[in-house]
Amino acid sequence: MAAADQVPVGSSFVPKTAAADVLKGISLSGKNIIVTGGYSGIGLETVRALAGAGARVTVPARRADVAAEALAPVAGEIEIAAMDLGDLASVRRFADHYLETGRALNVLINNAGIMATPLARVGKGWESQFGTNHLGHMALAMKLAPALQAAEGARVVALSSTGHVRSDVIWDDPHYNTHPYDKWEAYGQAKSANALFALGVDLLGREVGVRAFSVHPGGIFTPLQRHLSDEEMAALGWKNPDGTIPAAVQAMFKTPEQGASTTVWAATSPKLSGKGGVYCEDCDIAPMATEASQRWEHARPWIASDDKARRLWDMSEKMLADA
C-alpha cells in the first residue's frame, strides 16, 4: 500500500522555497511542536519558521547551553530542555516532563541526527547511527504517544535522506556485530529506518488521529558533515580539492532555510490531509524510483513496504524493551 501512495500531490512550491514561505497564510497559534536538534542547521531554521508562525516549540537538546545561545535571537515562544537521543533514560525523562505539562503535541519532528561517523556504540551496544537516528527517536515517539493522540490530528515527521538509497536495513546484523563496519552503509541503513519508522507510525496511528511522514531535506552544508574531512567531501564531489564548492554543487545544494522547507511542509500542509506514511522531497510526496531516477531522488522500494515497516517496528520494540 505504501508504494501506491508515493504519488506527488502537485505542491505549488519549488525545491528551493524558503521554509517561511511554505507557512505563508498558515497560523500555528496554539499548536505545540517538538523539534529534536532544533538548534543547528536545518533544525534551527525549522524552529525559526514554526515559531514565527505562532507555534510553541520545544527543543530537546544534548547541549542545552549551546541550544540556548543559538536560539536566543529567534523570535517566538521557544522552550529548551535537556535530552540525549543516545541515552534512553534521558529520552524518557524528557518525555515524562513533557507529559506532565498536560499539553497535547500537535507535531513531533525527529530532526536530529548523525552521519557517517566512526564505529561507536550507544544504548545496549547499538551501532550509534542506528541507535541515535532511529532507536532514540522511536523511544521518544512511543513515550509521547498519549500527547500525540490528545492533539486529535497530530503529525510525526522523521528526517530521512537520499542516503536511504545506500542501504536497506541490515536485518541480520543492524549493529555490525558480525560484519565489517561501513560508515556510509550504516548511515543509509539509519535513513531507511527513519523512513520505515514513519510508515510504521502511520500504520499504527492513523486510526487514532496520528499521521506520519518521512522527509529528504535535500543537499545542504550543515554541521551534519562534521565527521567528514575536506578530502572526503572532495572525493564525493561536494568540494574542490582546495576546499571551495563547485558551481554545480552550489546550484544543486540548498541553504539551511531552504532545506527546512520540506519538513515544514510535511508538518503543516493541508494537501497532506488524510495521507501519511509517505516519503517526501522538494515540498511534495516523492514518486517511486524508476530506472531513470538519479541516485539523489525518489523513494526506493525498501522504504515503501508495509511489511518491512512492521518488521522494523517489532525488531526495534524488542531492542527498546531490553534497554
Question: Which positions are catalytic?
Answer: 187
Is residue 59 within 8 A of residue 39, CB to CB? The reply is yes
| CA dihedral for 270, 18, 12, 294, sign (positive or negative) | negative
Query: Which amino acid does the sequence have at 164?
Result: H
* Spatial separation of the C-alpha atoms in residues 48 and 51, rounded to whole Å: 5
Helices (H) and strands (E) in the chain, counts: 14, 10
Q: What does the alpha-carbon distance between residue 290 and residue 322 come to, in Å, rounded to a whole number? A: 40
Residues 6+ apart with CB under 8 A from 150: 104, 105
Cα–Cα distances (Å) from 298 to 104, 155, 220, 258, in that order, read: 33, 22, 17, 18
Amino acid 5 reads D
User: How many angstroms separate the CA atoms of 30 and 25, rounded?
Assistant: 15
CA distances from 190 to 43, 59, 131, 134 (A): 18, 22, 8, 6
Tell me the three state secondary structure of residue 32. strand
